[in-house]
Structure 1
């Protein structure tokens, strides 16, 4: 992922001050001019900018854009692959204002909320594809509250902020556990979670396995969280309301058109490395690069891993070698028929250490020997 604000500013300057389309031969086209002085932006499912011809492009936004401030402006519409409107709203020089509405692929209302000075106010209402109510969140206070919830059978399980909650959500990006969904379950009192909560992993065959256990106090604050897979405690609860990805569009982040980036696997590597090597009391203000090779079988299991380009800070290489041997899986390469094949991968990454000695691994990139 990369911030593309400066890149956009330079291209917009060329596009609008010269009145010409930018030369996109051999380059990435993240946006183009649209009629009536509007601009068409190209996003993936999670609102990261991608090339217009990328296989993972799924959303197009048509909006005004203020080049000097690098922000969206006025009314906008987002369209899916079939040209169906999936989101409408308004920006006042980059600030969200007024009514925002999202739609299911068949055009029925998915959710609606009003923004004031970039913040949601009042009720955020969600609906099932058949138009029946699903969930009502309230944003009048500093803490978002769950005020109403109906299950798929139409039974109201939460009323006036009190009741029982059981809600399934997909994992947005790659996770090493291999489950596509997780299910949150617990009590809601006065709009916030109370008491004992669980998270279960759910596979495609509806098989469930207990993943986390949590205890919330009367004010909805997590007091105890335990991850059964990692055998570890934590203090930040997992999400229990639907995720909204359209916020990401305003950050103008882009992704290369590779499955490793689109699936979130490169982000997973960043988080995995950063979690294993967190900080140092003696190393500060360092920018470094490294790479390593991985031999994969056709199942994506590493059979041989070796550090290729080591870090300049040699004392860290021993730890780096330990980390690269802890990654249990990579997506296998595919042949021209789409069959998984054994391959050799070269993984490139960057390490930044700030002035407080905190580590951040980022900008991961995977090059496959047998797959372009």
Structure 2
């Protein structure tokens, strides 16, 4: 992923003069002029800008855009692949104002909320595809409070901010455990989680595996979280509300048109490397690049991993070589018929170390010999 805000500001001048737009390589079309002085933006499912011809393009936004401020302005509409409106709202020079409404693919209302000075106010109401109420979250206070919840059978489980909560959500991006969904379960008191909560991984056959256990205090703050898969404690709780990605559109971030980027696998590599190599008291203020080769079988299992372009010091390379074998899987390459094949991957990455010696791995990119 790359920051494109400054880039967009520069190329919009070209867009309005010539009607054409390309990225820094002259290839990607991330937005185009639309009728009546509007601009059409191209996003993937998670509101990252992508090329208009990318297979992962799934959302088009039509809106005014203020070039000098690099922000959306006035009414906008987002459309899915079929041309169905999935989100409407309003920006006042980049600030969300007034009613926002999202829609299911069949056109029924998915959720509705009112923004004031870029913040939700009042009730954020969610609905099932059949139009029945699902969830009400109130934002009259600094943080949202769950005030009502109905299960899929229409039974109200939370009323006036009190009751039991069981909610299933998909993993948005790649996770090494291979489970597509997770389920959050616990009690709600005065609109916030209270007491003992669990998270279960759920496989396609509906088998549930306990993933995390959490204890929330009377204020709804996580006192203790434990990840059973990692045998580790944590302090930031997992999400308990439906995740809305439309916020990301305002950041104007882009992704290359590759499955490794779209699936979140490159982000997973960044988080995996950064977690395993967190800091060093002897290494500070370093910016460096590296690459390594992976011999991959047709099932995505690495058979041989070799450091190719090394980092600047022996100590850093020793750390890196310890981490490389810990990545258990890569997405296999596909041939022209869509069948998985063995391949050799070259993985490129960047390492930043700040003045406190903290490591941050980022900007991962995978090049495949047998697949463009």
Q: Decide: shared fold, TM above 0.5.
A: yes
1:106 and 2:122 matched: no
Q: What does 1:258-269 align with in structure 2 at a 5 Å threshold?
A: 258-269=258-269
SS at 2:13 equivalent: helix
Deviation at 1:355, TM superposition (A): 2.2
Q: Give how far 1:19 is off.
A: 4.4
Q: Work out the CA distance in 1 between the residues paired with 2:212 and 2:66.
A: 45
Deviations 1:259-315 (A, max 9, x none): 000000000000000111112223222110000000111110110001000001321
Moved more, 305-314 or 121-130: 305-314
Give the Cα separation in 2 of the matches to 1:46 and 1:14: 27
Partner in structure 2 of residue 230 of structure 1:
230
Deviating 4+ runs (over 6 angstroms): none
Which SS does the other structure have where 2:101 is aligned? strand
User: Residue 36 of structure 1 aligns with which residue?
Assistant: 36
Residue 246 of structure 2 aligns with which residue? 246
Partners of 1:203 and 1:173 in 2: how far apart?
15
Q: Which residue of 2 aligns with 1:177?
A: 177
Check whether the contact 2:21–2:31 (CA below 8 A) recurs between aligned residues.
no
Separation in 2, partners of 1:362, 1:234:
22
Q: Secondary structure at the match of 1:158?
A: strand
SS at 1:48 equivalent: coil
Mean Cα deviation higher: 6-15 or 241-250: 6-15
Equivalent residue, structure 2, for 1:87: 87
- 1:311 partner SS: coil
| Partners of 1:23 and 1:237 in 2: CA distance | 40
Matched residue, 2:141: 141
Post-superposition CA distance 1:183-224 (Å, at most 9, x none): 000000000001110000001111111101111111111111
In the alignment, what sits opposite 1:199? Answer: 199
- Over 3 Å counting, the alpha-carbon distance change for 1:40 and 1:186 in structure 2 is same
Specify the alignment match of 1:270 in structure 2: 270
Could you tell me how far apart the structure 1 residues matched to 2:158 and 2:313 are? 55
State the partner residue of 2:257.
257
Structure 2 Cα separation of the partners of residues 315 and 280 of structure 1: 10
Distance 1:26 1:69 in 2: 24
The residue that corresponds to 1:292 in the other structure is 292
Aligned to 2:283: 283
5+ residue gaps, structure 1, are none
Which deviates further from its counterpart, 293-302 or 354-363?
Answer: 354-363
RMSD: 1.1
Q: How far does residue 353 in structure 1 lie from its aligned partner after superposition?
A: 1.2
Q: Is the 8 A contact 2:22 2:30 kept in 1?
A: no
Q: Is the 8 A contact 2:114 2:122 kept in 1?
A: yes
For structure 2, the residue ranges without an aligned partner over 5 or more in a row are none
Q: Size of the alignment, in residue pairs?
A: 371
The alpha-carbon deviation at position 143 of structure 1 amounts to 2.0
Following TM superposition, by how much is the alpha carbon of 1:20 offset from its aligned partner in structure 2, in angstroms? 3.4
Distance (Å, rounded) in 2 between the aligned partners of 1:332 and 1:23: 30
- List per-residue Cα deviations over 1:316-345 (Å, max 9, x = no partner): 111101111100000000111111111110
Alignment pair present for 1:21 and 2:20:
yes
Does the 8 Å CA contact 2:22/2:28 hold for their aligned counterparts? no
Q: TM-score if structure 2 supplies the norm length?
A: 0.98
d(CA) in 1 for partners of 2:302 and 2:97?
A: 49
Query: Structure 1 length as normaliser, TM-score?
Result: 0.98
Q: Show the counterpart of 2:130.
A: 130
State the Cα distance separating 1:23 from its structure 2 match: 6.2
Deviations 1:115-146 (A, max 9, x none): 01101111100000000000000111112111
Matches of 1:198 and 1:15, distance apart in 2: 50
Q: Determine the C-alpha separation between the residues in 1 that align with 2:217 and 2:100.
A: 33
Once the two structures are overlaid, the 10-residue window that deviates more, 51-60 or 274-283, is 274-283
SS at match of 2:326: coil
**Whole-angstrom CA distance in 1 between matches of 2:43 and 2:22:** 20
Q: Could you tell me which residue of structure 2 aligns to residue 302 of structure 1?
A: 302
Q: 1:81 to 1:342 in 2, by over 3 A?
A: same
